[in-house]
Amino acid sequence: MDLDIDLRSDTVTKPSDAMREAAATAEVGDDVYRDDPAVNELERRAAEAVGMEDALYVPSGTMGNQIAVRVHTERGNELLLDAEAHIYRWELAGVAQLSELQTRTVETGERGVPTAEQVRAGLVDEDLHRPGTGLLALENTHNYRGGRAIPKARIDEAAAAAHDAGVPVHVDGARIFNAAVALDTPAPELVENVDSVMFCLSKGLGAPVGSILGGPADFIEEARRVRKLLGGGMRQAGMIAAPGLLALDNVDRLADDHANAARLAGGLDALPGLAAADPDTNIVVVDTSDAGIPADEFVPACKERGVGAVAFGDYVVRFTTNLGVDADDVDEAVDRVAEVVA
């Protein structure tokens, strides 16, 4: 059966007709020469959207994070971050391969962001024997922590502790607008006390491709060189940037995804053997252990019934609501998952 209710991720959405039209009619130029009008406008508007001085359009969130790490650090530094951070867990040890960094992880639990005390304890001064901490990386929303929306005060607390030691702070904000909507706090306020932020256009905002790295102008200038080094120098990129401009208008509708996630969590939690935590945003994490169904069996069984999900642990499954599904789809998904449990 086709995945007619695809809840694997919010990256699976299809571009709208308006996005396809924007791609087809975009005025383009060579972006390496900074001649592409759509890219230039996207970078300008994206910088404003997160309150940063400048921004850079990159093909993916992973590239945006890896560029930020490389620009902020020197070879041989340590990177301090949560033990379940996307940069650490899901980016192919890029910080080791591309920036030659050592990582030091902190267990933050459901909080998702280290406390000031944890930051201070994790910082390493450079000396004859030790590398020195080059960067603190935070994540908001926190993917592996179940789409946790991290309040501004926690971001500011961790950032202040790092800055007191002269250590810059980067936020992996792949879903920063989900956090902003959930917390009713504008995105620029969430990141006003950090040094850089990455966010994805191709997740909840619905663009077909692309992410943004924001920061000070001199940081972005160096990031542009690193993007080229990593193979991200694009030519007539306006054809993919133009849909991104429309994606920036989709922030408010993220509230629909959050409502659908709450509806989905309630429905799944009511099924025998399943336990679903109340979601902060659009990610629903389900424990299948009481049902006695491992994730590597549960996910294929859902797929057979046309419902997409992903394994997040031995007995943990993730469902992610997105603009491709509505409340009726959510109810139908619950009914189909009920067949799996039965």
The secondary structure of the chain, three-state, reads: CCCCEECCCCCCCCCCHHHHHHHHHCCCCCHHHCCCHHHHHHHHHHHHHCCCCEEEEECCHHHHHHHHHHHHCCCCCEEEEECCCHHHHCCCCHHHHHHCCEEEEECCHHHCCCCHHHHHHHCCCCCCCCCCEEEEEEECCECCCCCECCCHHHHHHHHHHHHHCCCCEEEECCCHHHHHHHHCCCHHHHCCCCCEEEEECCCCCCCCCCEEEEECHHHHHHHHHHHHHCCCCCCCCHHHHHHHHHHHHHCCCHHHHHHHHHHHHHHHHCCCCCEECCCCCCEEEEECHHHCCCHHHHHHHHHHCCEECEEEECCEEEEECCCCCCHHHHHHHHHHHHHHHC
Low-confidence residues in the chain, pLDDT < 50:
none
Q: How far apart are CA 246 and CA 13, in angstroms?
A: 14
Give the pTM.
0.97
pLDDT at 1: 61
Return the pLDDT at 217.
98
State the pLDDT at residue 2.
83
Nearest-angstrom CA–CA distance, 331 and 333:
5
